Chains A and B, each alone.
Chain A
Amino acid sequence: MSDEAKSEPGSETEETLERLRELLVGPEREDIHELRTELDARQLNVDELGHMLPAALHAADKQQVTQVLAPIVETSIEVSVKKNPKPLTEAIFPLIGPAIRRSIRHSLAELTESLNRTLEHSFSARGLSWRVEAWRSGKPFAEVVLSHSLKFRVEQVFLIHRETGLLLEHAAAPGVAAADPEMVSAMLTALGDFVADSFDATEAPALSQIEFGGRVLEVASGPRALIACEVRGVLNPALRTVFEEAVESLHTDFQEPLQDFAGDTEPFFAARPALEALLLEERPEKKQKGNGAARWVLSVLVVMLVVWAVQAAIASWSIGKRWDKLQAALVAEPGIVLIRGEANGTRLVLVGLLDPLAADPLELVSDAGFEVLDVEATWTSFMSLEPEIVRRRTLKSLALPDGVRASWDGLALKLEGQVPSSWTETVREKWQNGGFSGLEAFDTSKLVDPSWSAGPH
């Protein structure tokens, strides 16, 4: 359409043109008009929707909205992590640490439990005193053992900006000569980069601990900053957790300064106290004064207890031995039959049968080493037929006069010597009447009446 033709106002040309337009693009015009209207309407709708959406979400049934959004959110997270895991990791960082530590604590508690059981059998004097400490303080025994075996001192703490290696703040224990902490921080960072590069480590900080000559450099890292602690001695492993918690709380407390860091370290002066709080130290020799006396008394009591126990044990063992000896003696002694015997501590109870011609049991008791006063003895008289007793009884009963010798062959008695025949007659008659119980044979053939030597009657 030529514009020049339009220049004549209200001309035929214009009318013709208009009619031409109508003919050629009439229907399309209407479409265009409709489309335009719709587009405008749509734009309006989008704006309106934008305004209404938050309100709509707020008013909607949370469950339904969540259900609908869940897959979308999941996919979004996937995409975000794939594209660049950093933002998400940084956001979650303050949560991950504590969660992981909690689960580790549980596993460690179990480990400590089993460790406890294994350690239960250590009976050194130190072990005993640690046991008492564990019982008193409520800590698990293994922990007490660990805490007494280590001694250390945190000498320096560096707060380092991770990306640049610049020193943000620094704290040193009194008396420690801190040699240019700024350069140390930078070199440490360079070392970390070097290690990561050489060993193809991922972006995560490569170094967590450097051990050297009796010292350890513990490094706890976060996404933007890290804490390096120079420790002299052997660090109690539980304290690594303290460093990690410190780095986490520093990330929270100094979130903005860390994010915006462009070289100005002034905002980090405020981190000094937190760093100084990490200058920990432990020495086992340092004992609280209050417990000194108590511990003394306790150990004396324990020693006394042990001594008493040992003495009691020895005493009862020796009594046992003496009792056995006494019992054996009583059994062996002719004319004594022990029916019941007990040793209660040092008291003895003896019940049995006693022949009048037997040895005095109390003699045997004191021979065995018992105090006679501690003996309660009940003896019932009886007549023993033991060979030795029979012999004694027979001889006693015979009341051999001088000049008569007796000789025994088992329970057969043979008399020799000179004695009036009337005596011989009497004893022979007694023998025949059973007056010598237990005597098996009686030979009096060798007895000679002294008056017969003068000649036969």
Chain B
Amino acid sequence: MVIKKKICMLGAYAVGKTSLVRRFVEDRFSERYVTTIGVKITKRELVLDGTHITLMLWDLHGDDAFQTVQMAYLRGSSGLLFVADGTRPETLDQVAVLKTRAVESLGAVPSLLLRNKSDITPATDADMSGFGEALPTSAKSGEGVESAFAELARRMQAG
């Protein structure tokens, strides 16, 4: 079997989605596409339980004042990665909004929440409760990325 799946990565502006995955994906398109057409696509191959899976990762432009995420790009996704900034808990709110909109467009698909910049200790007064079961990831150290992909793939196979 040759399994290919489309997954989308969503998050607020400047949470570090792109740099997070850069090392772990096959890349051939310029960063420009994210700001111009709102999406850039990379590829991640992995083996899960003996099955070779190809993940086409659609890195969607972060939500900000100038551009909202195009829900059209979500079409056909088998899984979603939500990325929030571990040093800015307010980015969780944006993730929540994005998740609601995504579910509206797609229905319920397997998803994963990533708490990025885990290598930076958050400010002591920061409210980290919202992160809950989010997987800690770090673009700097590379921590958590590979397992994030594997976990999402697992959830997609199961779901």
Contacts and interface: CB of A to CB of B under 8 A. Distances in A.
B63 to A, nearest CB: 16
A191 interface: yes
B33 A164 contact: no
A187 B41 contact: yes
A193 B70 contact: yes
A183 B43 contact: yes
With a 10 A CB-CB cut-off, give which of A167, A179, A186, A191 has the most chain B CB atoms.
A186
A420 to B, nearest CB: 132
B28 A166 contact: no
Contact of A163 (B37, B56, B70, B75): B75
Interface stretch (A67-75, A258-266, A357-365): A258-266
A186 B3 CA distance: 15
Contacts of B58: 186, 190
Contacts of A265: 2-4
Interface string B1-27: 111111000000000000000000010
Nearest to A192: B72
B37 A191 contact: yes
Interface size class of B (residues with CB under 8 A): 20 to 34
A182 B56 contact: yes
B17 to A, nearest CB: 16
B118 to A, nearest CB: 29
B77 interface: yes
B139 to A, nearest CB: 21
A165 B7 CA distance: 11
B5 to A, nearest CB: 5
A164 B70 contact: no
A328 B132 CA distance: 121
Contacts of A196: 72
Nearest to B75: A163
A190 B73 contact: yes
B75 A180 contact: no
A183 B41 contact: yes
Given A263-B3, A266-B1, A190 B76 contact: no
A190 B33 CA distance: 10
A197 interface: yes
B2 A167 contact: no
Interface residues of A, number: 23
A308 interface: no
A190 B56 contact: no
A194 interface: yes
Interface in A87-113: none
Interface in B68-100: 70, 72-73, 75-78
Interface string B36-78: 0111011100000000011010100000000000101101111
Given A180-B26, A190-B37, A197 B72 contact: yes
A164 B77 contact: yes
A443 B111 CA distance: 143
A191 B37 CA distance: 7
B2 A264 contact: yes
Nearest to A265: B2
A227 B77 CA distance: 20
Interface string A244-282: 000000000000000000111110000000000000000
A47 to B, nearest CB: 37
Given A164-B76, A197-B70, A197-B72, A183 B6 contact: no
A262 B72 CA distance: 19
